[in-house]
Amino acid sequence: MSTFYFIVLAVVGGLAITLQGQFMGIMDQTLGTRTSVFITYASGGALMVLVVLLRGVKLENLRAVPWYAFSAGVLGLVIVGTIGYVVPRLGVASGFTLIVAAQFVFAALIDHFGWFQATVRPLDATRLLGLVVMLLGVWWVNR
C-alpha cells in the first residue's frame, strides 16, 4: 500500500475524532457524561459484534499480548469520556489542541525511552524544538 493511502486514512481518522468530539459534547450536555459514553461504546460495540460475526476473530496469539495492552478498552473509555466532557466546555479547537499536545508529549517520551515495546527514537534537539513550538501553539490557541 502506498504512503498516500495511509495519509488519507490518517486524515479520515482525524476527521472522525473531531466529529466524535463534537457529537459526544452534544450528548454530554444533553444526557450527561456517563450516558454519552455508554451510548458511544454500546453503538461501537454493537458494530464490532456484527463485524466479528461476519468476519470472525483471531485469538490464537492471545497469550503473547502483554498484560498492559488489555487496558486499551479502559483507556478508550477515558479518552471518549474526556473528549465528551472537555469539548463542550472548552470548545472543539481548544479541547483537541490540549488533548493532541498531551498525546505528542507522551508519545515522544514513549519513543525516547522505548516504553511498552516501542522502537527507541531518541528525543533529539530537532524533535524537542518541534514539541516546544507545538506547545507554544497550544498556549496561543488556549489563551
Domain boundary among 90, 116, 131: 90
The verdict on 86 and 26 lying in the same domain is: yes
Q: 72 — alpha (psi -120 to 50), left (phi > 0) or beta?
A: alpha
Tell me how far apart the alpha carbons of residues 23 and 21 are, in angstroms, rounded to a whole number.
6
The verdict on 99 and 80 lying in the same domain is: no
Instruction: State the residue range of the domain holding 106.
Output: 91-143
What is the model's pLDDT at position 12?
93
Report whether 98 contacts 142 (CB < 8 A): yes
What is the model's pLDDT at position 143?
87
The verdict on 121 and 54 lying in the same domain is: no
The verdict on 111 and 122 lying in the same domain is: yes
The verdict on 122 and 140 lying in the same domain is: yes
The verdict on 63 and 82 lying in the same domain is: yes
Each of the 143 residues of the chain gets a pLDDT tens digit; together they read 889 999 899 899 989 988 998 999 999 999 999 999 999 999 999 999 999 999 998 889 999 999 999 999 899 999 999 999 999 999 999 999 999 999 999 999 999 999 999 999 999 999 999 999 999 999 999 88
Q: What DSSP designation does 62 have?
A: G
